[in-house]
């Protein structure tokens, strides 16, 4: 049975979050609609263990994106600081699907929850790493090892960004442990869950950099010659400069998130958390 009172409350809550984020320029109009639909479903049908981590990711990432950063970086990123619907979907907006799957397969619900949390950990790690690395104005290196690249370049990694990413992943892992402690009591599996979600999230961030460095769609500015993600630079349309055309930044985020989720859910199912 649908509880209409709760549904109404969920719609109001999700609407408020989406509206505030839209006004603060964290979400574009399409992004706000996507967040509204996904948030309503999660508030209406999920427990606090489902929506609190997503809210934590969303609020912390939006706050970090407001840190002052060099003007050029803002211009070179594909979509700037405002997340559109595709970006929302690539960064956890599909959360209601995980919730639905966990309800549909009770035997795998704990594993699916761990997969969902790992996916959020990867999104958190990747976003925190990018925002902190750019804010600290550190010179990123490709995969942290090879020749320095422009700040904001896909696949670029900085020391402080990597530390921030690890911290973000671990915090989401801690929230997964809290869920296990609340539902099953103090158990060793809570510690395992924190470690598994945290490391799967960290791995997802690394995968994001690998996909970004090798296969992400790159474009070149026809005026200044810079390699960018954006379709426009220096007031001119940019041209194709390498990578798979369909592999946008959103596709990279979605794929690395899915990998983290599969690894963590598989491990959790195997060890019967």
**Closer residue to Zn ion (CB): 19 or 79:** 79
Of the pair 153, 253, the CB lying nearest Zn ion is at: 153
Q: How far is the CB of 226 from Zn ion (least distance, A)?
A: 5
Least distance in Å: CB of 220 to Zn ion? 9
Instruction: Indicate the residue among 188 and 239 with the shorter CB distance to Zn ion.
Output: 239
Decide whether 103 or 223 has the Cβ nearer to Zn ion.
Answer: 223
Does the protein bind Zn ion through residue 231 (CB under 5 A)?
A: no
Please identify which residue in 224, 232, 237, 271 interacts with Zn ion, judged by CB under 5 A: 224
How far is 136 from 199, CA to CA, in rounded Å? 24
By beta-carbon proximity to Zn ion, the closer residue of 148 and 225 is 225
Residue 221 — left, alpha, or beta (φ > 0 → left; ψ -120 to 50 → alpha)? beta
Which tokens hold the place of 23? 């006004």
Out of 69, 218, 219, 233, name the contact with Zn ion by CB under 5 A: 233
Taking residues 193 to 222 in sequence order and writing x for each that binds Zn ion by CB under 5 A, - otherwise, the string is ----------------------------x-
Nearer to Zn ion, 72 or 109 (CB): 72
* # chain residues binding Zn ion, by CB under 5 A: 5
Q: Which stretch binds Zn ion (CB under 5 A): 4-12, 145-153, 198-206, 233-241?
A: 233-241
Q: Which distant-in-sequence residues (6+ apart) come within 8 Å of 213 by Cβ? A: 142, 143, 154, 155, 156
Return d(Cα 40, Cα 62) in angstroms, integer: 19
- Which of residues 6, 66, 139, 223 is near Zn ion by CB under 5 A? 223
Rounded alpha-carbon distances, angstroms, from residue 75 to 22, 25, 66, 101, 244: 20, 15, 15, 39, 22
CB of 228 to Zn ion, least distance (A): 7
Closer of 67 and 224 to Zn ion (Cβ): 224
Is 139:159 a contact under the CB 8 Å cutoff? no
Site for Zn ion in 33-62 (CB under 5 A): none
Residues 243/198, Cβ–Cβ less than 8 Å:
no
Q: How far is the CB of 232 from Zn ion (least distance, A)?
A: 9
CB of 235 to Zn ion, least distance (A): 8
In terms of CB distance, is 137 or 223 closer to Zn ion? 223
Residues interacting with Zn ion, by CB under 5 A?
Answer: 221, 223-224, 233-234
């Amino acid at each position: 049975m649908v509880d209409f009172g709760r549904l109404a409350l969920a719609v109001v809550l999700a609407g408020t979050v989406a509206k505030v984020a839209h006004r603060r320029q964290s979400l574009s109009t399409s992004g706000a609609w996507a967040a509204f639909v996904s948030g309503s479903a999660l508030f209406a049908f999920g427990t606090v263990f489902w929506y609190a981590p997503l809210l934590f990711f969303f609020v912390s990432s939006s706050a970090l994106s407001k840190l002052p950063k060099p003007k050029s970086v803002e211009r070179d990123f594909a979509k700037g600081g405002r997340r559109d619907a595709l970006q929302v979907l690539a960064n956890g907006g599909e959360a209601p699907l995980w919730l639905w799957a966990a309800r549909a397969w009770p035997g795998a619900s704990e594993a699916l929850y761990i997969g969902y949390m790992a996916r959020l950990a990867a999104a958190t790690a990747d976003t925190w790493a990018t925002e902190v690395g750019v804010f600290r104005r550190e010179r990123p290196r490709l995969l942290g090892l090879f020749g320095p690249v422009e700040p904001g370049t896909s696949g670029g990694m900085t020391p402080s960004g990597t530390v921030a990413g690890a911290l973000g992943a671990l915090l989401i892992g801690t929230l997964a442990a809290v869920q296990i402690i609340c539902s099953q009591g103090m158990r060793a599996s809570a510690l395992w869950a924190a470690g598994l979600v945290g490391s799967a999230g960290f791995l997802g961030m690394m995968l994001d950099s690998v996909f970004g460095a090798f296969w992400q769609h790159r474009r070149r500015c026809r005026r200044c010659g810079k390699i960018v993600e954006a379709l426009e630079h220096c007031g001119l349309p940019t041209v194709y400069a390498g990578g798979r055309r369909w592999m946008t930044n959103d596709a990279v985020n979605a794929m690395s998130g899915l990998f983290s989720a599969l690894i963590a859910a598989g491990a959790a199912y195997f060890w019967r958390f």
